[in-house]
Amino acid sequence: MLRINNLNVSYGSIQAVRNLSLEVHEGEAVALIGANGAGKTTTVNAISGTIPSRGSILYQGKEINGMAPHKVVKEGIIMVPEGRRIFPKLTVVQNLIMGAYVRKSSKKEVLQDIDRIYQMFPRLAERSKQMAGTLSGGEQQMLAIGRSLMANPKLLILDEPSMGLAPIVVKSIFTTINRIKQEGLTILLIEQNAAMALSVADRGYVLENGEIHFHDTAKNLRERDVVKKAYLG
Ligand code: ATP
């Protein structure tokens, strides 16, 4: 579904991503793991078209490198950005409705989808009329995921969903990510928390200093000594 070949991104003289190649097949959950500054966010920003990059990004056989960000969204690549970026001054339900604006659907369909999100995240249902900026960090992450699902993604990219959250909240977020995967959605999961990421992913890529060091099935990565030592503690 997504095939990146020799991606390179530089910020002035700093090369943040170097010759990165990765693939995500339909129905798969793929983890891109790496420490702070490894180049994870840079990679997703290149995919979503928000920063310029060199190399090829093929999505369903079509070159999307160079495409405007809103067109990438129209293709069905929806990102849940690092730091969530929900609309703090809008209510929970208003945020969800905003998520649906990229698609053409009837009010009835939008309402059905909001219902689906509320079943997935009962907490959001209870807080439907609450201002999003007053939600807890975990609830904001749920809302960010819910809002992205409202856009009917074909490929969902999650950028560090565990960031800044307590372990118990992280666990609950990952249970939901796993459920979304089980429903058949294709997922690219960017994470520093390798243990959680590899618990839901089918395969994983390990990024260090802007380069993919190795990639394998999640199961093999979990058993690899170097991954255990550096990323699994
Ligand atoms: P984190 O988990 O801390 O967000 P990351 O793996 O997502 O890390 P990136 O944010 O992609 O890493 O950063 C990769 C490198 O590129 C870092 O060295 C960072 O300092 C640099 N970088 C990122 N954004 C910019 C920018 N706008 N200008 C200059 N350098 C940048």
- CB distance 38 to ligand 1 below 6 Å: yes
Ligand 1 centre from 47 Cα, in Å?
15
User: In angstroms, what is the span from residue 18 Cα to ligand 1's centroid?
Assistant: 13
Question: Closest ligand 1 atom, CA of 11?
Answer: 29
Tell me the average pLDDT of the chain: 93
Q: Tokens standing for 213?
A: 């060091």
Query: Which atom of ligand 1 has the smallest separation from the CA of 36?
Result: 3
Statement: residue 227 has pLDDT above 70: yes
pLDDT surpassing 90 at residue 177? yes
Instruction: Return the residue whose CA atom lies nearest to atom 28 of ligand 1.
Output: 11
What distance in Å separates the CA atoms of residue 35 and residue 206, rounded to the nearest whole number? Answer: 9
Our measurement of the distance from residue 218's CA atom to the centroid of its chain's CA atoms, rounded to an integer in Å, reads 17
Q: Identify the band that residue 50 occupies on the pLDDT scale cut at 50, 70 and 90.
A: very high
Cβ contacts of residue 150 below 8 Å, gap of 6+? 96, 97, 98, 99, 100, 110, 113, 114, 117
Mean pLDDT of 75-79: 95
- Cα 150 to Cα 145: distance, rounded to the nearest angstrom: 9
Which residue, judged by its Cα, is nearest atom 11 of ligand 1? 39
Least confident of 83-87, 125-129, 149-153, 178-182: 83-87
Ligand 1 centroid–CA 225 distance in Å is 27
Cα 38 to ligand 1 centroid, rounded to whole Å: 7
- Give me the residue spans of the domains in the chain: 1-76+154-164+184-233, 85-152
User: What is residue 233's predicted lDDT score, i.e. its pLDDT?
Assistant: 66
Q: Which atom of ligand 1 is nearest to the CA of 17?
A: 14
For 171-176, what is the mean pLDDT? 94
Kindly tell me the burial class for residue 225, based on how many C-beta atoms sit within 10 Å of its own C-beta (0-12, 13-18, 19 or more): exposed
Over 70: is that where the pLDDT of 47 sits? yes
Identify the residue with better confidence: 104 or 44. Answer: 44
pLDDT in tens, 118-166: 999 999 999 999 999 999 999 999 999 999 999 999 999 999 999 989 9
What ipTM does this complex have?
0.92
All residues at 6 or more sequence positions from 181 whose CB lies less than 8 Å from its CB, including other chains:
29, 187, 200
132 CA → ligand 1 middle, Å: 27
Beta carbon of 41 within 6 Å of any ligand 1 atom:
yes
Q: What share of the chain is helix, strand, coil (3-state, %, to 5)?
A: 40, 25, 30
Indicate whether 215 pLDDT > 90. yes
- Confidence (pLDDT) at 208: 94
The CATH superfamily label for domain 1-76+154-164+184-233 reads P-loop containing nucleotide triphosphate hydrolases (3.40.50.300)
